[in-house]
Amino acid sequence: MARRRRMTAILVLSALGIKTAQRIKASLPDATIFGLNGRVEGADVGFSNFGQTIRERYQGGDAIIALCAAGITIRSLAPVLDNKSAEPPVLAVADDGSAVVPLLGGTTGVNVLARQIAQILDVSPAITTSGELRFGTCLLNPPAEYRLKNPEDAKTFIADLLAGKTVRVEGEAPWLRDARLPLDDNGELLIRVTTSDATPQAGELIFQPRAEATINAAASKDVRFAGHKRGRLAVIGLGPGDPDFMIPAVRKELLRAEDILGYESYVRMAGPFRSDQTVHMTDNREEMQRARHAFELAATGRSVTMISSGDPGVFAMAAAVVEALHDSDDPAWHDVELEILPGVSAALAAAGRSGAPLGHDFCILSLSDNLKPWDIIEKRIALAAEADFAMAFYNPISKPRPWQLPRAIDILRQHRSPETPIVLGRDIGRPGESLRVIPLAELTPEQVDMRTVIIVGSSLTRSFDRADGGKWVYTPRWYGTKPEG
């Protein structure tokens, strides 16, 4: 398990820049200075390719202070710019420290960071954003002693402010004094600073003072363990990859998360994350151990999100998480607010692309015999084939499991005609997606890898040419003979 806190990366290209970088670092001790090899001495880490380095930092969600021209920074990041709401702060700072220009990350605090650095360098920050980001920054980035309880509502709240609604403030929110918010005692919108565990209403943002939150927590019904806020564990499914296939509840959860756990590739799919979110990339194959780690974190009062691709309950983490809870008699674990949020599973995503091959009864099988004996897999394929289910095969083949898929195909051929439509969906919803429809007679293991889901038709599944050259596949909802009409 590699644990990595989001960091602030200062990228330096010149000898003059390193001086400025060191001045900044003196006040931001957590920052890491990256220096161009051969040009810069005294950096914490060397690099030889600026573009690659800055893109990696950006995609990893690190705040970036680039000591070079804004143009170089923008051009280098252009290929990877996408998700405005989640991108980390990026600033360009002149080599000699004479200018501080916030470039990206308006919703994740770039202007706050720009002001801070400008103060260190004793210059004025070149803040170019008006209302929206000014409100956004002060609302989404309160000082460290406060925490916004419902960041998922901030976007609508800010949009309402921009649309002209006024706001009243209950409680002490000193950092908002300079924000030039449209304050009004009868304001339609409400900003509440409170230590109680209130539930946000529509048009309301709640800020909780952190230190006192802990003391008051014990009395609140949402918190049952002295001194702890109630932790949360959400097991979420990202869907196949395309962000449009992610349910909004999952998107909200990603904003709410304090700790994010998952395989690196899934974490990348879900990111980038803010600098206040901690990502725990895991390469631990032991699911129960990962599940327990998630509970341990959540039981300390943190909001933990565990990421799966597709649906978390389909050959993914949800089952291990629920099992870990069942196995535990730790009351702190049972008090964690546990939620499992579904996603579009690979079979459904591939089915949609090809028509409706799963339009009647179907079953989903994993061909992996890592966690179950091969005998039972063969038996299930044979019985499902005999019962005339359409089927989807996950984990169809891998290097250590070369002979299993050929066996599965043999069994299918004993029960299904050679014309039975087969859908091979690979990397659905991801770059390089491919979809093929072939008859069972032509199915060979070489066409399949771990990133493929195989859909096998029932005896009634049929296919026909589509106008774009591909094929439609469907399994009718009727069985036996086609009804009249």
Which residues of this chain interact with ligand SAH, rule CB under 6 A? 240-241, 308-311, 314-316, 345-346, 350, 394-396, 425-430, 450-453
How many whole angstroms separate alpha carbon 484 and alpha carbon 61? 59
Q: Smallest distance, Å, CB 240 to ligand SAH?
A: 4
**Minimum CB distance to ligand SAH, residue 367 (Å):** 9
Give helix 154-162 / helix 131-140 axis angle, nearest 10°. 150
Least Å from the CB of residue 76 to ligand SAH: 29
Gap between the terminal Cα atoms of the chain: 60
CB of 307 to ligand SAH, least distance (A): 10
Amino acid at residue number 280: H
Q: Tokens 């897999």 appear where?
A: 377
- Name the residue among 380, 385, 355, 358 with its Cα closest to residue 369: 380
Minimum CB distance to ligand SAH smaller for 19 or for 407: 407
Instruction: Determine contact, residues 409/367, Cβ cutoff 8 Å.
Output: no
CB 242, min distance to ligand SAH, A: 9
State which residue, 426 or 471, has the beta carbon closest to ligand SAH: 426
DSSP notation for 85-154: GGPPPEEEE-TTS--EEEEE-TTTTHHHHHHHHHHHHTS-B-----HHHHHHHHHHS--TTEEES-GGGH
> CA-to-CA distance for 163 and 133, rounded, in angstroms?
14
Tell me the closest approach of the beta carbon of residue 454 to ligand SAH, in angstroms.
8
Task: Tell me if 430 sits within 8 A of 240, measured CB to CB.
Answer: yes
Determine how β-strand 100-104 pairs with β-strand 90-93: antiparallel
For 400, the token pair is 């250590």
Output the CA torsion sign for 241, 469, 474, 463. Answer: negative
Nearer Cβ to ligand SAH (125/396): 396
Helix (H, G, I), strand (E, B) or coil at 10: strand
User: Alpha carbon of 290 to those of 1, 21, 305, 369: distances in Å?
Assistant: 9, 38, 12, 21
Q: Which is nearer to ligand SAH, 17 or 429 (CB)?
A: 429
CB of 477 to ligand SAH, least distance (A): 24
Residue type, 10: I
Q: How far is the CB of 436 from ligand SAH (least distance, A)?
A: 12
Q: Which is nearer to ligand SAH, 169 or 235 (CB)?
A: 235
Nearer to ligand SAH, 47 or 245 (CB): 245
Q: What is the C-alpha to C-alpha distance for residues 12 and 389, in angstroms, rounded to an integer?
A: 61
Nearer to ligand SAH, 40 or 347 (CB): 347
Residue 10 corresponds to which tokens in the numbers above? 């200062």
Comparison of 115 and 268: residue with beta carbon closer to ligand SAH: 268
Locate 413 and state its tokens: 């051929």
Residue nearest to ligand SAH (CB): 310
Indicate the residue among 167 and 320 with the shorter CB distance to ligand SAH: 320
Residue placing its CB nearer to ligand SAH in the complex, 271 or 396 = 396
Minimum distance between the CB of residue 344 and ligand SAH, rounded to whole angstroms? 8
Smallest gap, in angstroms, from Cβ of residue 398 to ligand SAH?
Answer: 8
Minimum CB separation of residue 356 from ligand SAH in Å reads 17
Of 149 and 353, CB closest to ligand SAH: 353
| Residue 169 or 453 having the CB closest to ligand SAH | 453
- H or E element, residue 209: strand 204-209
Contacts of 175 (CB under 8 A, 6+ apart): 138, 142, 143, 146
Nearest approach, Cβ of residue 426 and ligand SAH (Å)? 6
The closest of 133, 127, 186, 193 to 159, measured between CA atoms, is 133
